[in-house]
Amino acid sequence: MKTMTCKQLGGACDLEFHADTFEEMATQSKEHGMEMFQKGEEEHLKAMNQMQELMKSPDAVTNWFNAKRKEFESLPDKE
Ligand SMILES: [Zn+2]
């Protein structure tokens, strides 16, 4: 299990996600993001707008995703 925070994944808070794969991590982060979006949480809305700007460029998204995957892979694996 590895741990990353909402902030590390482009979000806005220090909530921790725990997952064995980066895909799983990304899914948890996305679900949390959607929940915060539905609550209208301001900091997360801001973070989401920034991500949407990034989404306009497929290359930027790929680069961001690859960088985060590397960050995930470099983390210590804890039980
Ligand atoms: Zn968050």
User: What is the CA(79)–ligand 1 centre distance, in A?
Assistant: 23
14 alpha-carbon distance from chain centroid: 11
Label residue 15 exposed, middle or buried (CB < 10 Å: 0-12, 13-18, 19+).
middle
Task: Name the residues around ion ligand 1, CB cutoff 5 A.
Answer: 6, 11, 13, 15
Q: How confident is the model at residue 26 (pLDDT cuts 50, 70, 90)?
A: very high
The answer to whether residue 78 scores a pLDDT higher than 90 is no
Q: How confident is the model at residue 79 (pLDDT cuts 50, 70, 90)?
A: confident
Question: With a threshold of 0.75, does the pTM exceed it?
Answer: yes
User: What is the CA(8)–ligand 1 centre distance, in A?
Assistant: 10
